[in-house]
Structure 1
């Protein structure tokens, strides 16, 4: 959505309002530093990998159980397998717990944005949020650049107007000075004697 001048979008307006009223929210995206990585997660692949790990562990347990019938021939094998299982089972349980936690957090995130987890997949929510952050940052940067352009334009106009103002002030001062000189000249003329010649007699008249 763009304004009539095709320069300001709704996102530009949102950034402008936040900059004026809640500037501390302009860097909210810094709290979402892992959002780009999260947007690349595919839950389907995570589920497949988790299932593959669980099945792999089950096969190892079966191998250990079957080797019990081999007697002393498989003694070293069973020993190594048991040591591995002691470590692997704990790791798989921890991984399964993390996977369950991821699922709960994803559902909570979807609900937080007012969507239904059964209808709106996690990938869509995160992708939308990531695009919003990207567009928000871009709009804010463009707003800052526009403000800088307007500031430079105002400074340039002020620099252009200053000589004109100075010239006008000088003209006013010159006009006032000329009027003062003219007034002094008139005053001087009023004080000068004027001679009239009447029938050969000189008379002095003062104005």
Structure 2
């Protein structure tokens, strides 16, 4: 596994544009700079290292095949890469069973980055979507928690909502957030901290325990 290093959003978008033209060198540079970090994301979902490595390779195969679908106007390119990696990790947990995911489209990634949901009826998390096939009380609690979290997110000021979603759902660092939002680093840290406090208070009010 190569050592991760940081790309700016513009650099990532440029690499994806070159990969869309089937530039193998661009794919190699993208892999060298992002594979270690994406592998860490995959391992948190798929703890089996061999399966996680397979999921990582599937992720970059998907990048090679789908890079032309990414548009900078849809949001941060790292969020798009994370969506692909997360879906491949979930696929690996399901084995040969098919997973119908609404998150593997650029439009879905953009909606998530903006703090929106795809619809009131469809879950944004593919793991929840799969769990619905089995039914049961656990699924009901998952949907209830998801709805409360969504409602609490909507109560946050827009900049706080966007900051916390990009940080905790898409894995952006504070520095990457500052670059993406074109805001001072101190402001970004404050937005994330206030968003977390706001979510904690809101979830406590609706009866969800927080840590």
Q: What TM-score results when the alignment is normalised by the length of structure 2?
A: 0.20
Q: Which has the higher helix share?
A: 1
Q: Which has the higher strand share?
A: 1
